[in-house]
Amino acid sequence: MTLGCKVNKYESDALRYNLELKGYQTTDQLERADIYVINTCAVTKEAEKKSRQMIARCRKFNANAKIFVCGCASQNNISQFKDKGITCISGSAGKIKISNYIDSMARNLSLQRDQLIKVDNLPTRYEDDLLAKQTRIRAYIKIQDGCNNFCSYCIIPYLRGRSRSRPIFSIINEVSALSDDVKEIVLTGINVTDYKIDGKDGLLTLLQELDTFGKRIRLSSIEESIMSEEFVRGLANLSNFCPHFHLSVQSGCDKTLKDMNRHYTTSEFYKTVLLLRKYFPRAGITTDVIVGFPTESDEDFLQTYNFIQKCQFANLHVFQYSNREGTVASKLYKDISPAIKHERSEKLLTLSNELHQDFIKANRFGKVLVEEKVDDYFVGFSENYIKCYIQSKENLEGKIVKVKIGKPFRDAAKAKLIKIL
């Protein structure tokens, strides 16, 4: 069971694959099992709460099951999982050991409690011992771990460690082994922007190497700091790059950005938005926004609201500030009321819906990778990340199709099939 980010999902998939190679039957569905592995999240208090609640949910299916807990929530506070009858508690590092512990137990080998209830020190080098089996049409490829940014509100650098990059040959080998059924790869990490090759900025070089495989390439969340004209021009010269940029802004107020320890101004961020649209006129630019940061006044929030309108994002991910003990913000500032956070969040979610519909209406055509069938529709995402619902008598799953994008529909848009590519 996986909570949290795509990096966690990749690591869970890798752990599953490792267990399958040892002969175990696995699933990511919540159903009866002999053993449950819960890969936890701690990005917010609510995420930690859900991680704890997952234990009880598993117990309902099998009260006698062995439960293994790992990930950021146990890295942050191992004591919250003790005395709950958990078989094994570990942290963010060394997740591969879980499969070894499970295998040892299956062979009736004894393990000491200090082995099983232990959070290891965070590594200084990339742990390249977890490899996921890619069974989907879209494959997530982990290229990096950790973060050096230390935004004042964020606990993740303390739970994932400093930034470290996966060797490029390891990434190339994983992509080389992908089946022809995989049509798109998504590069993921805790801070993809900071990917390095031999200590130097290496993301563009990696993308150029991956472009030769002929599969669509998509980036997960990325930072404004990397968006030089040289870098963006390099992206535009790729044959298979999908122009969707999840560019986290977090706030549209310079004062709040400074308090957050974000290393850019709204002016610099807006120049990046314009640069992206210069090279990718139809780019889908989405973003993360935190509302209710302790120093955010009503005027500061209004600046954020207006800045988001100015940028014309395609969609927003809105988060209410969560006070994380141990971060700079938790030490310096007093939290504001949940009611204010909720009110600001609702305003931005309404704005997000309006911007999303405007973005859909501005796009006439798209190339969609069809991933699944939902009711009577084939569903997938265009290259600039518009979710499309397509009706067709022919099975479109796993195919890339050209469509005419129609009116907003459900959480996305209806689209008419033009041809299969």
- What residue spans in the chain does CATH classification 3.40.50.2300 cover? 6-116
Torsion of CA 187, 189, 191, 195, to 10 degrees: -60
Determine the average pLDDT of the residues in 319-337.
Answer: 95
What's domain 365-420's superfamily in CATH? Nucleic acid-binding proteins (2.40.50.140)
Cβ(261)–Cβ(150) below 8 Å: yes
Q: What is the pLDDT of residues 234-262, one digit of tens each?
A: 999 999 999 999 999 999 999 999 999 99
Which amino acid makes up residue 245?
Answer: F
Q: What is the per-residue pLDDT for 132?
A: 84
DSSP letters along 348-409, please? HHHHHHHHHHHHHHT--EEEEEEEEEETTEEEEEETT--EEEE--SS--TT-EEEEEEEEEE
Q: What is the per-residue pLDDT for 406?
A: 95
Determine the average pLDDT of the residues in 170-197.
Answer: 96
Q: Is 267 left (phi over 0), alpha (psi -120 to 50) or beta?
A: alpha
Mean of per-residue pLDDT scores for the chain: 95
- What residue spans in the chain does CATH classification 2.40.50.140 cover? 365-420
- Class of 6-116 in CATH: alpha beta
Alpha carbons 98 and 309: distance in angstroms, whole number = 47
What's domain 138-332's superfamily in CATH? tm_1862 like domain (3.80.30.20)
Q: What is the pLDDT of residues 271-316, one digit of tens each?
A: 999 999 999 999 999 999 999 999 999 999 999 999 999 999 999 9
| Statement: the pTM of the whole predicted model exceeds 0.85 | yes
Determine the average pLDDT of the residues in 196-202.
Answer: 96
Q: What percent of the chain has pLDDT over 70?
A: 100
- The phi and psi torsions of 37 (rounded to 5 degrees) equal -115, 120
Determine the average pLDDT of the residues in 376-390.
Answer: 97
- What residue spans in the chain does CATH classification 3.80.30.20 cover? 138-332
Q: At residue 51, does pLDDT exceed 80?
A: yes
Determine the average pLDDT of the residues in 122-133.
Answer: 89
Least confident of 34-43, 115-124, 127-136: 127-136
Alpha-carbon Rg for the chain, nearest whole angstrom, is 22
Q: Is 239 left (phi over 0), alpha (psi -120 to 50) or beta?
A: alpha
